[in-house]
Amino acid sequence: MHQPVEPPPSQWVFPPVGGADDDGPVAVGGDLEPGTLLAAYRRGLFPMPLRPGGPVGWWSPDPRAVLDLADFPATRSSILRAVKRFEISVDHCFADVVRHCGDPRRPHGWIDEQIVEAYTGLHELGWAHSVEVWLRGRLVGGIYGVGIGAFFAGESMFHLETDASKVAVAALVERLAAGGVTLFDVQWQTDHLATLGVREIERDAYLERLEVAVAGRGPTWDPEMPPPDALEFPPDR
């Protein structure tokens, strides 16, 4: 894939996030045009509807959940075993991954068709990416997010087979690490994400790291390139 294409700038101006409530939206409304989405991520915000079908809120939680790539437990036996079951691809069916993440049968689902269209638009411009996990030719897991320079924001993941989402994260982490990503944002902490090495940092610290990361250089997102080293993680010690 070539260099991302910068879209027209957003018509909206986001308020400062430093003094925002810890858990509430910083702003409500606007649109999901590519320029608006990129402006939000560059300022430490991400969109999520206030309720299914409701207006879009722009969030910057404090604390913020991040995954330092060196903390990902790539050598854990369960991950090593799971990797051998699946095949991995990158950016082969982005919209399908987003739609699976938005399956209405999932609890607390918020990804609707306007989100699918918005992020697919970002993907077509080279800013949003997916990792897909396959089992015998069937899409069974994946993760998608937004990459700006040395920053990547993981948006959502899904699995239809045990460990498929874990393998998707493993493949993504290896690509991000090989590409020089310095900030992998996962927004909010969960018990599951904690098992993958995710931790919380204060918003101010996040914003400092974000400013440096978005100005840096990130991975090459070529769909024809397999994840680095084909997920051959070092053995358990």
Closest CA to 59 of 77, 73, 45: 45
Q: What is the spatial distance between Cα 138 and Cα 140, in angstroms, rounded to a whole number?
A: 6
- As separate numbers, helices (DSSP H) first and strands (DSSP E) second, the chain gives 7, 10
- Give domain limits for the chain: 25-59, 64-221
CB 69 within 8 A of CB 172: no
Closest CA to 30 of 55, 52, 6, 59: 55
Q: What is the spatial distance between Cα 67 and Cα 164, in angstroms, rounded to a whole number?
A: 19
Cβ-proximal residues to 155 (8 Å cutoff; 6+ apart), any chain: 46, 101, 119, 143, 144, 145, 146
What pLDDT is recorded for position 82? 72
State how far the alpha carbon of 76 is from the alpha carbons of 34, 81, 159, 166, 182, in Å.
38, 9, 19, 11, 22
CB 151 within 8 A of CB 214: yes
Q: What is the spatial distance between Cα 131 and Cα 90, in angstroms, rounded to a whole number?
A: 5
State how far the alpha carbon of 59 is from the alpha carbons of 21, 49, 201, 227, in Å.
9, 10, 16, 31
Q: Are strands 56-59 and 46-49 parallel, antiparallel or unpaired?
A: antiparallel
Fold for the domain defined by 64-221: Aminopeptidase (3.40.630)
CB 206 within 8 A of CB 45: no
pTM for the structure as a whole: 0.90
Handedness of CA 116, 122, 72, 204 (dihedral sign): negative
State how far the alpha carbon of 119 is from the alpha carbons of 104, 129, 171, 189, 206, in Å.
18, 9, 20, 22, 23
Per-residue pLDDT of the chain (237 residues; tens, 9 = 90+): 568 999 999 999 999 998 788 888 999 999 999 999 999 999 999 999 888 778 999 999 999 999 999 888 755 556 667 778 899 999 999 999 999 998 877 655 678 889 999 999 999 999 999 999 999 999 999 999 999 999 999 999 999 999 899 899 999 999 999 999 999 999 998 888 888 889 999 999 999 999 999 999 999 887 665 554 444 433 322
Structure-token pair, residue 154: 């993981």
State how far the alpha carbon of 236 is from the alpha carbons of 73, 77, 185, in Å.
10, 7, 27
